[in-house]
Structure 1
Amino acid sequence: MSVNAPTLLWFRLDLRLDDNPAMQAAIARGKPIIPVFIYDEDKDWPLGGATRWWLHHALADLQEQLSCHGLKLVLQSGDSAEVISDLVEKHEIGAVFWNRCYEPRTIARDSAIKQQLKSQTIEVESFNTSLLFEPWEIKNKTGNPFRVFTPFWKHCLAKSFPKTINCDLGATKVPRAWPDSEILDDWKLLPRISWDAEFYKFWKPTRKAGLNRLRQFVKDAVHDYGNGRDRPDWDGTSCLSPYLHFGQIGPREIYEALLGKVDLTKGGPRQYLSEIGWREFSYHILYHFPSVPTEPLRPEFEHFPWEPDDQLLKAWQKGQTGYPLVDAGMRQLYAIGWMHNRVRMNAGSILVKHLLQPWQDGARWFWDTLVDADLASNTQGWQWTAGCGADGAPYFRVFNPVLQGQRFDTEGDYVRRWVPELAKLPSQYIHQPWEAPDSVLAAADVKLCKTYPLPVVEHQQGRRRALDAYEKLKFFHKDKK
């Protein structure tokens, strides 16, 4: 092997150069660096349309980041093990470094690749850049994984948080020859039809834009985050989730951006930091219970009496449930690949409780339509909503979408933005247009059942339906004991 045997730097969900331990290890090795990204989709969870859109732009941005240091991003598609083996052989690679991912299939694949490289006496090492703490580091007093968030996060807060890594990017070395690279546009990650027009108005999927958003959030919105996180009509959340998912920003960077500028022990900053903790908890659960993307963590929910109905599911997907707050959220989701968390909870509750549709169907739709579709967070959110996961909301807690809209979208601005056919309704009726007098509906150009649907199920009826289903589950579980 050549004394200048290059380092293969394998990018995955870590599409940044700074605060990147695999990058720093490659630099410290002192050999030429060959960065590579392999498009190798998980067969069980292939990328949805929205995440493919973000990935395209994030990779283009990473190419620009690398070019500033004389490096190129080698793009390859196919089986990761085969691509790496081929690159190692053809380019006399001396070391392979990457940052860890925690999806079940990825863990198994990476372990096999690592063992194969070691058997070839290739230096190989993986690092943590996407979490504050490794899932196996956090254990309860009995040495088992946590299943409730509050004690989990309390345990984390008692530990020393890791610091960001300043990579010596000026010390990168360039190889004499570059491997062949595929062309990003040839991967056809962008949609063939222009459903993504609003994406470009709302998002800039670059590291620079993510850092700017973080700075602005810490300066302004984080202080009132306790209220802002519940108000879809405000710009009160960080909107950093897609940047976090693709590793354009890391959780250590978020923590350090907050540290020293705000009091992390109280108010909005404390609540926001706990959201980072919830993300950590989601990965903790996924790592220790790898079946949760498709199976409930609480086994008794395997027998829940769901009533799958394609028409109800489609009405929900298209924002045609007849509940303005929910429909606004579902349309926002389709338009920009993101939905405010307060509305996500209401949209999820409608699907699994009022409509008795399996939570897995909701998770799959979100997976396809969210730019921040993250297997751990998406799974955790849906199992929480369905009451079947770790620290889940009780199943008998059923959101009233009318009251939720009146409380958190007081003037109806959020609904007017995303359900324009209701825009002319007075605020007192915008969350329950079926209660408006005919004269008010006529003045607002609203024709119920024509321009806007009636609720697919009346709230009290839907609530009763959900509670009856829960009682059936309890009786079934009791009989099995």
Structure 2
Amino acid sequence: MTQSSPVIWWVRRDLRLADNPVLHAAVSSGRPVIAVFICDSVVENLGAAPKWRLGLGLEAFAQRLEDIGSRLIFRKGDALTVLRDLVAQTGATSVWWGRQYDPDQIARDKDVKAALADTGCDARSYAGHVLFEPWQVQTGQGKFYQVYSPFWRAVKDMDVAARQPAPKSLRKPERWPESDRLADWTFGRGMNRGADVVLPYLHIGEDAAQARLAQFIERNVGQYKDLRDMLDRDVCSGLSENLTYGEISPVAIWHAGQHALDAGKPGAEHFLKELVWREFAYHLVYHTPHIISRNWREGWDSFAWQDAGDDVLRWKQGRTGIDVVDAAMRELYVTGRMHNRARMLVASYLTKHMLTHWRVGQDWFAECLVDWDPAANAMGWQWVAGSGPDAAPYFRIFNPDTQAEKFDPAAHYRKAWLAELSESPPQSAMSFFDACPRSWGLSPRDARPAPIVALADGRKRALAAYENKNKS
């Protein structure tokens, strides 16, 4: 290893310059830095919306690197094969990357690290996607936490890494390796005509993420605890979109939240708790990776999930006949995101009233969410379904009508997304019909359908299924 041998920075979900430990280490080495993004099977298997949004984030990050005199190299193929080729082509002696914690990426990264190390290459991984490495947070018995509240109490006073400034330049290699054209990968192909509808709702790139955080802290964090569940109020940070792609670090958000807490803003602690809820999801995914694809709790494999058939399509279309559920599903299709309270309601209706397996909803969100996150999505769906980590000792079933009365009392949210509720619907509601597949044959003039499952009947059926599960 010499000062002229490049460091290959394998870029993944860390599309930022500031608060980036692997980039900070590469710059501190004084060596040339070659940033490369690899479109491998993990990337290829992304759903339509997250894959498209990733492409937009990569485009913005490539420009950010160019602005400081560097560039982002794009390559497609098996990650190990691509990295070996780049090492041979550039004379690099080091390949460094930021860690990921879902099982597919852990398995890939272990193989890459071992294979590169066998050839004498300095292969390293760095923290950066979470506040605390999953193995750093343990119970008094040296085990991992399975309930959120004690997890929060364990981490709330732990030291969080200091912020790191963005480098003003990166040392260039003597010769840049060849790169694919990002546009040729057509990451947006699966979005079809929905891309133009969703695009205005996005905040793409590191600068947009930092501005979003600053605005939230200034305007909304103080009322976050009291109003975060209100469907008709826009007080949430929206930062899940940027966190997903690493356009902002959890470290930056934590310190901003702590400053707000120190300044006496009443909603700041609850905001930090929500950030740690994401942390808890990654803690569980690392220690119990089966949460991604199988029931987290024992005894749930016998639960009587039903094949809802055509009713699942109605749920996806926002045509269950339950206004707040349907509004939320339309919001998802128009914006690529969904209010957190609404996510719980649509998940509860699907898994409890319709008795449809949580994986059906998990897969649909993985297809449609621009802020899709493997850990948060899996834990969220299992938490609502009842098969996941949850301290509550009862089978939770949300009543969407009473929830709507509480969190959308004047029906502003429902009317914003359901064109059928108004004689002159707003553009937000009409946009759904511009985005959804023509094959669905939907029109804003359609009458509202009767509920797939009446709420009282669905609750009784779900409780009976739960009791039968416990008897089996």
TM range (shorter): over 0.9
Aligned positions of 1:380-391 closer than 5 A: 380-391=379-390
Query: Once the 2 structures are TM-superposed, how far is the Cα of residue 424 of structure 1 from its aligned partner?
Result: 4.9
Q: Alignment partner of 1:74: what SS?
A: strand
Q: How many residues align?
A: 453
Query: Once the 2 structures are TM-superposed, how far is the Cα of residue 450 of structure 1 from its aligned partner?
Result: 5.1
Question: Which residue is equivalent to 1:438?
Answer: none
CA separation in 2, counterparts of 1:267 and 1:465?
A: 41
Which deviations, in whole Å up to 9, do the C-alpha atoms of 1:265-304 show, x marking residues without a partner? 8841111110011000000000001111111111201110
Question: Which residue is equivalent to 1:179?
Answer: 177
Question: Which residue is equivalent to 2:440?
Answer: none
Whether the aligned pair in 2 keeps the contact of 1:387 and 1:393 (CA below 8 Å) is: no
CA separation in 2, counterparts of 1:394 and 1:448?
A: 42
Question: Which residue is equivalent to 1:56?
Answer: 55
Structure 1 residues 339 and 64, CA gap change in structure 2 (3 angstroms): same
CA separation in 2, counterparts of 1:461 and 1:285?
A: 34
Query: Once the 2 structures are TM-superposed, how far is the Cα of residue 321 of structure 1 from its aligned partner?
Result: 0.4
Query: Once the 2 structures are TM-superposed, how far is the Cα of residue 358 of structure 1 from its aligned partner?
Result: 0.1
TM-score by length of structure 2 reads: 0.92
Question: Which residue is equivalent to 1:353?
Answer: 352
CA separation in 1, counterparts of 2:392 and 2:419?
A: 32
1:17 and 2:17 aligned:
yes
CA separation in 2, counterparts of 1:34 and 1:124?
A: 14
Aligned positions of 1:134-149 closer than 5 A: 134-149=133-148
Whether the aligned pair in 2 keeps the contact of 1:354 and 1:466 (CA below 8 Å) is: yes
1:27 and 2:27 aligned:
yes
CA separation in 2, counterparts of 1:392 and 1:11?
A: 37
Query: Once the 2 structures are TM-superposed, how far is the Cα of residue 231 of structure 1 from its aligned partner?
Result: 1.0
Whether the aligned pair in 1 keeps the contact of 2:257 and 2:269 (CA below 8 Å) is: no
Q: Alignment partner of 1:410: what SS?
A: coil
Structure 1 residues 331 and 235, CA gap change in structure 2 (3 angstroms): same
2:293 partner letter: T
CA separation in 1, counterparts of 2:338 and 2:414?
A: 13
Query: Once the 2 structures are TM-superposed, how far is the Cα of residue 360 of structure 1 from its aligned partner?
Result: 0.7
CA separation in 1, counterparts of 2:114 and 2:165?
A: 29
1:355 partner letter: M
List alignment gaps of at least 5 residues for structure 1: 426-446, 477-481
Query: Once the 2 structures are TM-superposed, how far is the Cα of residue 457 of structure 1 from its aligned partner?
Result: 1.0
Whether the aligned pair in 1 keeps the contact of 2:14 and 2:247 (CA below 8 Å) is: yes
1:188 partner letter: T
1:195 partner letter: G
Which deviations, in whole Å up to 9, do the C-alpha atoms of 1:36-92 show, x marking residues without a partner? 00011328x921111112111100111111011211100001110110011111211
2:465 partner letter: A
Structure 1 residues 361 and 395, CA gap change in structure 2 (3 angstroms): farther
CA separation in 2, counterparts of 1:409 and 1:375?
A: 29
2:16 partner letter: R
Whether the aligned pair in 2 keeps the contact of 1:448 and 1:454 (CA below 8 Å) is: no
2:41 partner letter: E
Which deviations, in whole Å up to 9, do the C-alpha atoms of 1:209-255 show, x marking residues without a partner? 11111000000111111132111211110110010010000110001
Q: Alignment partner of 1:302: what SS?
A: coil
1:166 and 2:171 aligned:
no
Question: Which residue is equivalent to 1:479?
Answer: none
1:469 partner letter: A
Question: Which residue is equivalent to 1:106?
Answer: 105
CA separation in 1, counterparts of 2:315 and 2:270?
A: 30
2:182 partner letter: L
Aligned positions of 1:192-211 closer than 5 A: 193-211=192-210
Aligned positions of 1:131-280 closer than 5 A: 131-170=130-169, 172-191=170-189, 193-263=192-262, 267-280=266-279
CA separation in 2, counterparts of 1:142 and 1:259?
A: 29
CA separation in 2, counterparts of 1:314 and 1:152?
A: 38
Question: Which residue is equivalent to 1:305?
Answer: 304
Question: Which residue is equivalent to 1:429?
Answer: none
1:466 and 2:462 aligned:
yes
Question: Which residue is equivalent to 1:441?
Answer: none
TM-score by length of structure 1 reads: 0.91
Which deviations, in whole Å up to 9, do the C-alpha atoms of 1:125-181 show, x marking residues without a partner? 2111111100011111111111000001100113112212224433x2111211110
Question: Which residue is equivalent to 1:439?
Answer: none
Whether the aligned pair in 1 keeps the contact of 2:197 and 2:334 (CA below 8 Å) is: yes
CA separation in 2, counterparts of 1:80 and 1:362?
A: 30
Question: Which residue is equivalent to 1:443?
Answer: none
Whether the aligned pair in 1 keeps the contact of 2:15 and 2:245 (CA below 8 Å) is: yes
Q: Alignment partner of 1:421: what SS?
A: helix
1:464 partner letter: K
CA separation in 1, counterparts of 2:263 and 2:282?
A: 22
List alignment gaps of at least 5 residues for structure 2: 425-442
1:475 and 2:471 aligned:
yes
Aligned positions of 1:447-462 closer than 5 A: 451-462=447-458
2:77 partner letter: G
CA separation in 1, counterparts of 2:256 and 2:91?
A: 40
Whether the aligned pair in 1 keeps the contact of 2:384 and 2:396 (CA below 8 Å) is: no
**What RMSD in Å do the two structures reach over aligned CA positions?**
2.0
CA separation in 1, counterparts of 2:264 and 2:311?
A: 44
